[in-house]
Amino acid sequence: MSDAPFHHLPVMAHEIVALYEQVPPGFVLDATLGGGGHAEQLLDRWPHLKVLGIDRDERALAAAQERLARFGARLRVYHCRFDRLDEAMEALSIESLSGALFDLGVSSPQLDVAERGFSYRNDAPLDMRMDQTQPWSAADVVNGYPADQLARVLQQYGDERFARRIAAAIVAARPIESTATLAEVVVSAIPAPARRTGGHPAKRTFQAIRIEVNGELDALPAALDAAIEHTVPGGRIAVLSYHSGEDRIVKDRMRSAATGDCLCPPELPCVCDAVQTVRIVRGVPRTPTASEQAGNRRASSARLRVVERIADAPTRGWR
């Protein structure tokens, strides 16, 4: 394993730090701590805040602890996936949160370390595990899934319009042992005219397989619900998403919390006892500035959604 530094260039850092100026004192959850870029700026800027950092990548946790050592007890870390928030809070005796931040997807350091197998730009074993302790890897998906199941993964998590062609080509080429071979197979399965636009032809396939290996979207709804539940009134939950599947889930869970899943017609008062737990801070998601997108390619597809926790109150009268 490479011992290169785990650098992290945080996306929309200025906007995110500003969101937490007025939240109550206490712990802000960084649910995807990574290299600690966002956490460092939050701790530097707001002395009333502490950070609970969780991540499934042990290497990222170690790098963040080293980077943020100067903050002492204001940083607490726990190795887990973000849908195990209850476990992390209980283990560290943290009773409530003043806010939460989710920076979804794969981090630049994970992409840049070739042997992690996340990138179609490097030749490496098929891995893609964010948590290196889990036994399941990209090799199991690529070489084990039947063609119809593989096609569903590519369609659902990659929005890949040539999913069936790619899945059939992968099955025919088995066993596939490296990222370079997988990328070649994917490129060969896509019609030549379609290869000329939209970036590297394999990027959607790699994204979809990574999401499947790590169960990223499966874990997200419960993780968001738990973060909202544990956040005190006045605290804020912010989410950076990078593709449509993530953003749909984030929008759905935030809307659910903002309406209490009220089933009543919009033009009538609520009579179903729905309970609103958050207010949406901004209806339209924010996006990075043009200059940030130019300087950080990962920022180009980012969407930021934010809600603020309120005291539980009936939906009646809110609409």
In terms of residues, how long is the chain? 319
Structure tokens at 103: 């920076």
In the chain, the domains with their CATH numbers are 13-109+216-314 (3.40.50.150), 120-214 (1.10.150.170)
Tell how strand 303-314 and strand 275-280 pair up. Answer: antiparallel
CA distance 189 to 317: 55
Count of alpha carbons within 13 angstroms of residue 303, beta-carbon side: 16
pLDDT at 109 over 50: yes
Check if the beta carbon of residue 240 is closer than 8 Å to that of residue 19. Answer: no
Instruction: Look at residue 262 in the predicted model and tell me its pLDDT.
Output: 86
Instruction: Look at residue 316 in the predicted model and tell me its pLDDT.
Output: 38
Instruction: Look at residue 29 in the predicted model and tell me its pLDDT.
Output: 98
Q: Per-residue pLDDT tens for 128-139?
A: 999 988 999 999
- Mean pLDDT of all residues in 295-311: 91
Count of alpha carbons within 13 angstroms of residue 202, beta-carbon side: 20
Instruction: Look at residue 9 in the predicted model and tell me its pLDDT.
Output: 78
CA distance 61 to 34: 7
Q: Per-residue pLDDT tens for 181-199?
A: 999 999 999 999 988 887 8
Structure tokens at 219: 């874990």
Structure tokens at 196: 């000329």
pLDDT at 3 over 70: no
> Predicted confidence band at 1 (pLDDT cuts at 50, 70, 90)?
very low
Residue with tokens 């804020």: 236
Q: Per-residue pLDDT tens for 22-37?
A: 999 999 999 999 889 9
> In whole numbers, what is the pLDDT of the chain averaged over residues?
91
Helix, strand, coil abundance in the chain, percent, nearest 5? 45, 20, 35
Check if the beta carbon of residue 47 is closer than 8 Å to that of residue 75. Answer: no
Report whether the peptide linkage leading into residue 175 is cis, meaning its omega lies within 30 degrees of zero: yes
Least confident of 40-49, 152-161, 262-271: 262-271
The rounded Cα 211 to chain-centroid distance in angstroms is 10
Q: Per-residue pLDDT tens for 199-216?
A: 899 999 999 999 999 999
Instruction: Look at residue 79 in the predicted model and tell me its pLDDT.
Output: 96
Task: Read off the pTM.
Answer: 0.89
291, 211, 307, 295: which is closest to 257 by C-alpha? Answer: 307
> Predicted confidence band at 8 (pLDDT cuts at 50, 70, 90)?
low
Instruction: Look at residue 196 in the predicted model and tell me its pLDDT.
Output: 83
> Predicted confidence band at 123 (pLDDT cuts at 50, 70, 90)?
very high
CA distance 272 to 228: 21
> Predicted confidence band at 319 (pLDDT cuts at 50, 70, 90)?
very low
56, 59, 45: which is closest to 81 by C-alpha? Answer: 56
Highest mean pLDDT among 67-76, 101-110, 115-124: 67-76
CA distance 180 to 300: 25
Structure tokens at 121: 């730009």
**What does the DSSP assignment read for 197-254?**
SSS-TTHHHHHHHHHHHHTHHHHHHHHHHHHHHHEEEEEEEEEEE-SHHHHHHHHHHH
> Predicted confidence band at 6 (pLDDT cuts at 50, 70, 90)?
low
Tell how strand 26-30 and strand 97-103 pair up. Answer: parallel
Q: In percent, how much of the chain has pLDDT > 90?
A: 76
Tell how strand 275-280 and strand 49-55 pair up. Answer: unpaired
